[in-house]
Structures are given as structure tokens and as C-alpha cells.
Amino acid sequence: MAVNSILEGKFISYVPIAVYRELATELQLTQSQLAFYRSRYEQAHQQNQQIVQEVQSVMAVGHKIQAIVANTTPDQPVIPQIVVPQQVWSSPPDTEGKFHWVIIFISIVLVASLGLGFIVMNTLSAQKQRRA
């Protein structure tokens, strides 16, 4: 199998298909992990919204009880008011920026492996030409 060739004065380097397959597998794994974490985030976000709604309904009942207690027995202690934020998370966190770092890392690994392959093959072909 030819690893490199010279065509019209230009050097062309070939990457083994195994490297591409490995990178494709890693990319698919990363994409599936990203999809999994996004779905987990959506589930947590929905649960958070439900909890906020439940807390708000409990607070509404507490305010009603406070009003009733305030009207019937003024000498009893008043329930303190608790402020609950209306929205905890308005949108999912930015995962795209992190995904770009994965792509950049894979690209750096690919370029480094191609460069190393070039150096090794160039050295081997130079040694082979010296022997001949």
C-alpha cells in the first residue's frame, strides 16, 4: 500500500482508513453523549419547573392562611414571606462552545498524527532509497 506519492511535484499523503474510522467512531460517541446530556438537562429543567410551580402553590396557600390568621387572631405570630424566583433557568446552557472544543481537539490530533506519519514515512523512504 502506498503511503505517499509525488504527483506533478506535489506531495500527497494518505491517511489509513482505520484512522478515519476511529475518528468517526469517537465523533459518534461524543454526539451520542451530547444528546444524552441534553435530554437529561431537559428532564431536570422540566422537574425544576414543576417544583417551582409546587412551591408557588404552597406559597399561595401560605398567604391565604396568613390572611386568615391575621384577620382572626392578631396576637399570633405572622408567617414570614419567602420570595421564590419566577424562573431559575430560562434556556439550556451553551453546549455548542464545548462541542467546538472537541472538534478542535480532534482536528489537532488528526493533524499531529498526519505530520508524524509523514515524518516517519519520509524517513523510511529516504533510508530505502539509500539502500538501493
In a shared domain, residues 78 and 131: no
Q: Higher pLDDT residue, 93 or 3? A: 93
In a shared domain, residues 85 and 103: no
- The percent of residues in the chain predicted with pLDDT above 90, rounded, is 20
Q: Higher pLDDT residue, 44 or 116? A: 44
Does an H or E element contain 109, and which?
helix 96-131
Q: Is residue 30 part of a domain?
A: yes
Q: Higher pLDDT residue, 45 or 102? A: 45
Structural domain range at position 118: 94-132
In a shared domain, residues 63 and 107: no
pLDDT(72) > 60: yes
The pLDDT confidence band at residue 11, using thresholds 50, 70 and 90, is low
Q: CA 24 to CA 15: how far, in whole Å?
A: 14
In a shared domain, residues 65 and 102: no
Q: Is residue 6 part of a domain?
A: no
Q: Higher pLDDT residue, 74 or 84? A: 84
Contact criterion met (CB below 8 Å) for 24 and 106: no
Phi-psi region of 19 (alpha: psi -120 to 50; beta: other; left: phi over 0): alpha
